[in-house]
Amino acid sequence: MQIQKDNVVTLHYTVSTTDGDLIDSSHEAPPMSFLQGSHFMIEGIEDALFGKVKGDKFEVTVDPDKAYGDRHDDLVQEVPAAMFEDMDVEVGMSFRATTDDGEQSVIIIDKTDTTVTVDGNHPLAGMSLSFDIEVVDVREATAEEIEHGHVHAEGGCGHTH
């Protein structure tokens, strides 16, 4: 079966920078399953999977526009440390912040006694990424999985919609 929209795809992956620095790998855990076309995976991976079959192994480089987007300098802001009154913040911490545009994930990239610098960019924004992918399985999604937009474990999805 060739991968198409609304198939459940199970795969293993390794992702690295284009310079070869390892970022993440699924090989030490069970393979990942997702609903093709649900935007669970970055666009460049979903695009590369179309037409592949169980057992296929391939490499693909994904540019920022099909991965985590370009970096935006305006998403890096220095804010008063007083905004974090009772919190012991450290560089590298991430949390959800309320902004004029709604909730946003931010990472603390610098701190002084008076200021904290936060970055709202995804940590991989602006990077081209290299993926090694192995398609472990492909199956038709159930009507319920398609309706819910995600893969269900055996016995259902464990929550109400």
Buried-exposed string 2-34: b where 16+ CB fall within 10 A, e elsewhere: ebeeebbbbbbbbbbeeeeeeeeebeeeeeebb
For 139-156, what is the mean pLDDT?
85
The band of 98, judged by pLDDT with boundaries at 50, 70 and 90, is: confident
Same-domain pairing of 57 and 77: no
Q: Give the residue numbers spanning the domain of 88.
A: 73-119
Instruction: Give the CATH number, domain containing residue 47.
Output: 3.10.50.40
Same-domain pairing of 25 and 99: no
Mean of the per-residue pLDDT values of the chain: 92
pLDDT for 97 equals 80
What backbone phi and psi angles, to 5 degrees, belong to 123?
Answer: -55, -25
Structure tokens at 2: 């060739």
Structure tokens at 140: 């038709």
Q: How many CA atoms lie within 13 A of 145 on its CB side?
A: 22
Express each pLDDT in 15-27 by its tens digit. Answer: 999 999 999 999 9
- Model confidence pTM above 0.75: yes
